[in-house]
Amino acid sequence: MVTDAVDQLHLRAWQAAARVPDPEVPCVTVEDLGILRWVRMEGGVAVAGVTPTYSGCPAVLAIELAIEAALREAGFEARIERVLSPPWTTDWISAEGREKLRAYGIAPPEGPAGKAALFDVPQVTCPRCGSKNTTRISEFGSTACKAQYQCRDCAEPFDYFKCI
């Protein structure tokens, strides 16, 4: 009986933290991106582990504060722990998160992270029309973790979430 209550409390804390949207890409949550690593209860405090997408991510503090606020709004005392090891990888983006990115107009990462050679230009699928006839316009898109591409078939520009 006590275990069920503890499990329910933990689940409620996880759900509160997990639904926080990414401030730079609001179509996906911190759970979808895989940056919410864990939530555990420590003496009545909900502690959430968060791994930034990269160490210089300008949104990391905003994300941590949003998760803390969500936990507090759910009735928990809250603390955030930044988890730097292992480093985040695009492999942690869920299948649902990848589909949300595509529907939002951002091409999700293609292939396993860490497999591209330096200066490699990946073949990227257009999130709007599905064509692979695309070209990179710029190594950096709206954020440093995305590159700017354009589809040669539908002519639409789009961001590509780089494999990290």
- What's the whole-model pTM score? 0.88
Indicate if the pLDDT at residue 34 is higher than 80: yes
- Which residue among 82, 104, 122 closes a domain? 82
Q: How confident is the model at residue 113 (pLDDT cuts 50, 70, 90)?
A: low
Q: Residues 105, 149: one domain?
A: yes
pLDDT digits (tens, 9 = 90+) for 117-139: 555 678 899 999 999 999 999 98
Q: Residues 97, 78: one domain?
A: no
Q: Which residues constitute the domain of residue 9?
A: 2-82
Average pLDDT value for residue range 102-127: 80
Query: Apex CA 27: angle with CA 23 and CA 28, to 5°?
Result: 75
- Quick one: pLDDT at residue 56? 82
Q: Residues 76, 98: one domain?
A: no
Query: Apex CA 145: angle with CA 67 and CA 36, to 5°?
Result: 25
Q: What is d(CA 62, CA 28) in angstroms, rounded to the nearest whole number?
A: 15
Q: Residues 77, 109: one domain?
A: no
- Which residue among 29, 63, 82 closes a domain? 82
Strands 36-42 and 45-50, sheet pairing: antiparallel
How many domains are there within the chain? 2
- Which residue among 27, 54, 82 closes a domain? 82
Which uninterrupted H or E stretch holds 30? helix 30-33
* Sequence letter at residue 121: V
Q: Residues 108, 133: one domain?
A: yes
